[in-house]
Amino acid sequence: MGMNSPGYLEVLKLAMPETIVTLAALVLLFADLAGMRSVEHKWRRKVAASIAGMGCLGAIFWMFQVHERGTLPNGILVVDPLTQLVKQALLILTVLTAIISLDSDFTDHVGEYFALLLFATVGMMFLVGTENILMIFISLELVSLSLYILTAFNKRNIQSAEAALKYFLFGGMAAAFTLFGLSLIYGLSGSIELRPIAAALKGKGIDPLLAVAIIMTVIGFGFKIAAVPFHLWAPDAYQGAPTPSAALIASGSKVASFFILAKIMMLGFAGAEGSGTWRGFVPGWVPLLAVIAVFSMVLGNLVAIAQGNVKRLLAYSAIAHGGYALLGLLSNNPQGVSSLVYYVVTYGLTTIGAFAVVGAVENGGGEGRMSDFAGLSRRAPLLSLCMMIFMLSLAGIPPLAGFFGKFYVFAAAVGSEPKNLGMLWLVIFAVAMSAVSLYYYLQVLKQIYVAEPPANALPLPATAPFQVGVVLLALGVVVLGCSPHLLISRLAAAIQAVALH
């Protein structure tokens, strides 16, 4: 292509954060293998989590210190303020996931577990940091393969294997759809980079082949973000997976998938968005995603009501939240992207916290059933308070992050068509459904605060670092809710700097 091919040094400089995390994973594996085999699990986990945490924090520190900016040819690696910001968010989510893994004793392969957490994170970082469809696919596979193994990691539990198999089969199919869609795009546009793709497709209208390409891509990513009707794996995977793995699937993986989906749609299919305004439908990806969003919100929320297991409830709630988050993408403007990222990041924090508390209950001899939470406020007051914050944030009660996230996403969606408030119909759906959701979140809190604990219930065992992690998550939810400006001012600046349109 006549471009100067970059030297290895430049590649390394641009991919430094990813390199640091990968190195941390290797160090961790080696340390665990060489020196920790005979040590007690508790300490092995602490050491492994510390190395993982240091790796992630090191990468964040690097990004803060060295403001590297640049793009590799064909958009293989795009290092700009926005991708760096999202990577930092992903790394923070991973650190927190590592902290809440401290108390879960489900495996002898401690080193491998934490290394896989990091590999998945590296995959997510590459995923958000590229505008090249091949690279997107490869990173997606790195994330997915790591997550399949993480799901199957509890070898003592048959459910874990079943969950992983389901996740793997669905995921494999999704990957096939994605690949098919991406190959069609390449065939149509002759390019593998998002912006040139849009330029090549511009003005051609939506021909049938492009429609198929869009639909295939949406199906593929629909699986990743667990949107209806591609959500079927989610409840089983969440329930069967070791709880910290489920937390990562619901948080970091969601953030990365939503972000890259937004990039593909807004950059790659710019011009093919159509319109989703009421009585003003124009074919394109916006109405397609609007329909998916509606189904996700309705089905996720209504089915969540019937769940007796809190992990399954969180899975269905995740489906519903996927629907809300899609609204940010549907706005198809900078504010929409900002609201989408704010939404999924704060949702990630909240859901890691919720899974952490579920994990603590499991460690205390429960199984994640609703009734296992009975009287939790008297067995673990601090964790219960945090769980209240997480549940209320998910329900969208101010001043927690979940509320502002919803407000921001809804305002962006309505504001995208201010003339006739065209997207208001979607927001009405979303608001109505979030009113429904309060019911089932309150059911969990009712068990925790209202129901009496079983007669022989003991205080929950939870180590100090674990509790600190959960409290940090809760604080994050409160602080980002009370001053959303902390995050959205950065987001706005980053988005302005990269010109997403």
Partner 1 sequence: MLAWTIYISFIGVAVLMLLPRDKARAARIVALFAALAGLIVALAGVVPAAAGIQTVCRLSWIPSLGIDYYLATDGISLTLVLLTGIAAVVGILFSWNVEHRAKEFFAFYLALIAGVYGVFLSFDLFLLFVFYELAIIPKYFLIAIWGSTNKEYGAMKLALYSFVGSAMVLIGLIATYVVAGAKTMNLLELAQYPFPESFQYWAFPLVFVGFGILAGLWPFHTWAPTGHVAAPTAASMLLAGVVMKLGAYGALRVAVTLFPIGLKQWQGVIAVLAVVGIVYGALVALTQKDFKFVIGYSSVSHMGFVILGLVTLNEIGLAGAVLQMFSHGIIAGLLFAVVGRMVYDRTHTRELGVLEGMHLAKAMPFAAVTFVIASVASMGLPGFSGFVAELQVLIGAWHAFPTLAVVAGVGILIGVAYTLRALQKAFFGEAESPENRTPARQPMKAGNGGGHAESEFGAPLEPITIPERVGAVILIATTLAIGLYPRLLLDVIVPSLSSPLFEGLRKAGML
Residues near partner 1, by CB under 8 A: 377, 381, 385, 392, 397-399, 403, 407-408, 410-411, 414-415, 418, 421, 424, 427-428, 431-432, 434-435, 438-439, 442, 445-446, 449-450, 483-485, 488-489, 492
Q: Give least dist CB 374 to partner 1, A.
A: 13
Which residue reads 């429609």 in tokens?
A: 211
Q: Evaluate whether 362 touches 368 at the Cβ level (below 8 Å).
A: yes
Q: Give least dist CB 492 to partner 1, A.
A: 6
Residue 281's SS3 state is strand
Q: Give least dist CB 398 to partner 1, A.
A: 4
Q: Backbone phi, then psi, for 277, in 5-degree steps?
A: -75, 155
Q: Evaluate whether 298 touches 435 at the Cβ level (below 8 Å).
A: no
What number of other Cβ atoms are within 10 A of residue 44's Cβ?
Answer: 22
Residues in the chain: 501
Nearest CB to partner 1, comparing residues 314 and 400: 400
Nearest CB to partner 1, comparing residues 188 and 421: 421
Q: Give least dist CB 448 to partner 1, A.
A: 10
Q: Backbone phi, then psi, for 363, in 5-degree steps?
A: -65, -30
Nearest CB to partner 1, comparing residues 133 and 433: 433
Nearest CB to partner 1, comparing residues 159 and 483: 483
> DSSP letter string over 484-500?
THHHHHHHHHHHHHH--
How is residue 384 written in tokens? 């219960």
Nearest CB to partner 1, comparing residues 140 and 480: 480
Q: Evaluate whether 25 touches 55 at the Cβ level (below 8 Å).
A: yes
Q: Give least dist CB 236 to partner 1, A.
A: 29
Q: Give least dist CB 405 to partner 1, A.
A: 13
Q: Evaluate whether 331 touches 341 at the Cβ level (below 8 Å).
A: no
Q: Give least dist CB 331 to partner 1, A.
A: 11
Q: Give least dist CB 399 to partner 1, A.
A: 6
Nearest CB to partner 1, comparing residues 253 and 339: 339
Residue 280's SS3 state is strand
Cα separation, 178 vs 383, in Å, equals 40
What number of other Cβ atoms are within 10 A of residue 489's Cβ?
Answer: 12
Q: Give least dist CB 298 to partner 1, A.
A: 15
Rg (CA), the chain: 22
Q: Evaluate whether 190 touches 200 at the Cβ level (below 8 Å).
A: yes
* Cα-based angle 370, 466, 343 (whole degrees, multiple of 5): 70
Q: Give least dist CB 485 to partner 1, A.
A: 5
Nearest CB to partner 1, comparing residues 217 and 301: 301
Nearest CB to partner 1, comparing residues 248 and 414: 414
Cα separation, 316 vs 484, in Å, equals 26
Q: Give least dist CB 177 to partner 1, A.
A: 35
Cis amide bond preceding 399, omega within 30: yes
Q: Give least dist CB 319 to partner 1, A.
A: 20
Nearest CB to partner 1, comparing residues 123 and 476: 476
Cβ-count burial 227-247 (b if 16+ within 10 Å, e if not) = bbebbebbbbbbbbbbbbbbb
DSSP class of residue 370?
G
Half-sphere exposure of 102 (CA within 13 A, CB side): 22
Cα separation, 106 vs 362, in Å, equals 11
- Nearest CA-CA partner of 17 in 72, 74, 71, 83: 83
Nearest CB to partner 1, comparing residues 229 and 381: 381
Residue 272's SS3 state is coil
Nearest CB to partner 1, comparing residues 31 and 397: 397
Nearest CB to partner 1, comparing residues 295 and 449: 449
